[in-house]
Structure 1
Amino acid sequence: ARLERGLNDSGLDALASFDPRAIFFHSGWRPELPRPGGGKAGVGMVLWKAGGAALAVKVFPGSPADEAGIRAGDVISSVDGKAVSAMPDAVLGSALYGAPGGVFRFAGEKRSGGALNKSLRREFGGAPTVWGFNIPGTRKGYLRIISFSAKTSARIRCEMNDLLDGGASEIIIDLRHNYGGLLEELAASLELFAPGKGPVFRVVSRHPGYSRVYAAPGAGPFAGVKTVLLTDSGTLSRAEIFAAALREWRAAVIMGGT
């Protein structure tokens, strides 16, 4: 009733007094949601440049690279006939990730032996919300978390186990442009790093009478693992809570802006 009276008296300006973040959309307007990744597509692999070539450190299942038979450990020495050693990182990156439909020829050597010569087309999809790889020549692992959507916690557990089994003693967790996700998945993900039994975060509504505490049943399997968190201005919502919790547990150093 108060809102109705306010709208009758002051029009749309009254919305700000009830909710400063409220936005009015004219009837008939429909938002167009952007594709994941900002409309960009990829070939489905991650390369690590070293020694005049690029090592495939991650190939996403079901991606163009995977379907072409490229595997982690394969070496890429040229793209479209140009030596990787002479290519700036941005140019090499544009062959991996950019507008859909671009076709590039990757040549090099298979890890198992023999020549590699494949044409790959950038396509949408293929990259999971969580993925990682062991950084060559180091005892560090890299873990990318794009969002806390369904099954994120299970994927984190799987990727973390692979990184630690691969010899990593420190994990770089990339939360840049992580837009948030599900509270339940955030809680389950934090449980993996919790130092012991107890609350991990609390949700409080601006409306009286509602709050909920999410708690860990005990120490998580990755409690005590040294981590570095990468953040930026696109690290939002649930990702901010994740970063704050790990920092308060003295389990992480945060690098980057907010």
Structure 2
Amino acid sequence: MESTSGKYEGLGMEIDSRDDYITIVTPMEGTPAYRKGLKSGDKITKINGQSTLDMTTADAAKLMRGPAGTSVNLIIKREGIANELDFEVERAVIELKSVNFYGVIEGTDIGYIRLSRFAEETSHELRDAIVELNGKGINSLIFDLRSNGGGLLQQAVETAELFIEEGKLVVYTRGKFAESERRLYSQRKPLFPDKPLVVLVNEGSASASEIVSGAIQDWDRGIIMGYPTYGKGLVQQVFPIGSDNDVALKLTTAKYYIPSGRCIQKPENQNKDGHGDKIAQTDSTPVDSLKISDKEIYYTNSGRVVYGGGGILPDVELEHEDIYKPIELALERRGVFFDFAVKKFAANPDMTVDLE
């Protein structure tokens, strides 16, 4: 799978369905789509002769993916050009980076790493990034897990062990029966063991992101900042049904728990019993679907109070700001800003991206 293997065979671009046709949102730098000169805003009207009118992005992706070295024909309608363009693009192995960016914040000794997924090469990419940042003399680090929906469990463990001591519990799974419990520990010395660490999370941080941020929080290794996370902590197995494997049964067999004993999964019934102590009623402000007064108390390694109820509650919770007005949100959903940018750059080819 693309999200966990970190690679796939295809053209290398993000697509969307706009105005009844498949539209290129952005070609990834260094990929066949980028080298052939495909641009943001290009409308793909045909793929190998098949019209994309009312086609879903999933169906379009299937048509464009295939063995590396083979070709796919795209008919493109580009803003500002009357005639359609014909592209023959050779497929290649597309490498998807987990670490989208890392560097030192200008004028400081603070490092920053942005991680978008937990795929097969995630821990290797992170190790390379941390080694380089350490070499540049950083004294603190911002680790950005916002909108990271997770991925491979083993990569979550290997990521956590970059920051917490060797031999520490990272996560465990618990099913219906006690003997099914499985515990995973950090097995290497950390590369960034004791300097200040801030982990950024939001509502899109899920699964492996919650394992990592939860372990860091429970071992008091760093500060979690942002918004309450998604609460996705189910261990599921997929069982093919039928001879052609087109249908499968997804069965939940266990749940993920972090070192303090908190379950990552947000319960469907918020009144279910947990494994923590019930909190006395207070007048606390709610931070998500449950008020603090309804949550269970757990404790970090140093005895600091943290709360259960699913997901990870940040140590420093930010207030949501209404950055956009309703009319601006409506325009964004309709793709008006994207369409304007496409037309503006088509009409002004010498314009640079840093325009004001």
Scaled by the length of structure 2, what TM-score is found? 0.39
Deviation per CA, 1:27-67, whole angstroms, max 9, x where unpaired? Answer: xxxxxxxx9978542675xxxxxxxxxxxxxxxxx379x98
In structure 2, the residue matched to 1:237 is 207
Aligned match of 1:41 in 7, 26, 50? 26
Structure 2 counterparts to residues 39-78 of structure 1, below 5 A: 39=16, 40-41=25-26, 62=30
Measure how far apart 1:251 and its partner are.
1.8
Structure 2 counterparts to residues 1-258 of structure 1, below 5 A: 39=16, 40-41=25-26, 62=30, 99=40, 128-130=97-99, 131-206=101-176, 209-258=179-228
Aligned pair count? 155
Q: 1:251 to 1:138 in 2, by over 3 A?
A: same
Q: Is the 8 A contact 1:42 1:100 kept in 2?
A: no
Gap regions ≥5 residues in structure 1: 1-34, 45-61, 68-97, 104-124
Q: Aligned partners of 2:226 and 2:177: how far apart in 1?
A: 33
Q: 1:139 to 1:238 in 2, by over 3 A?
A: same
Measure how far apart 1:126 and its partner are.
7.2
SS across alignment from 2:143? strand
Deviation per CA, 1:97-155, whole angstroms, max 9, x where unpaired? Answer: x945599xxxxxxxxxxxxxxxxxxxxx7762113111111111110111111111111
Measure how far apart 1:163 and its partner are.
1.2
Q: Is the 8 A contact 2:13 2:28 kept in 1?
A: no
By percentage of residues, which structure has more helix? 1
Q: Aligned partners of 2:152 and 2:188: how far apart in 1?
A: 21
Measure how far apart 1:223 and its partner are.
1.3
SS across alignment from 1:230? strand
Gap regions ≥5 residues in structure 2: 1-11, 17-24, 44-77, 79-93, 229-356
Q: Is the 8 A contact 1:195 1:249 kept in 2?
A: no
Measured on the aligned residues, the alpha-carbon RMSD in Å equals 3.1
Q: Is the 8 A contact 1:197 1:215 kept in 2?
A: yes
Q: 1:101 to 1:164 in 2, by over 3 A?
A: farther
Q: Aligned partners of 1:257 and 1:157: how far apart in 2?
A: 26
Q: Aligned partners of 1:215 and 1:229: how far apart in 2?
A: 20
Q: Is the 8 A contact 1:198 1:218 kept in 2?
A: no
The one-letter code matched in structure 2 to 1:226 is: P
SS across alignment from 2:198? strand
Q: Aligned partners of 1:37 and 1:143: how far apart in 2?
A: 23
The one-letter code matched in structure 2 to 1:231 is: V
Q: 1:180 to 1:206 in 2, by over 3 A?
A: farther
Q: Aligned partners of 1:38 and 1:240: how far apart in 2?
A: 28
Percent of pairs identical after alignment?
Answer: 26
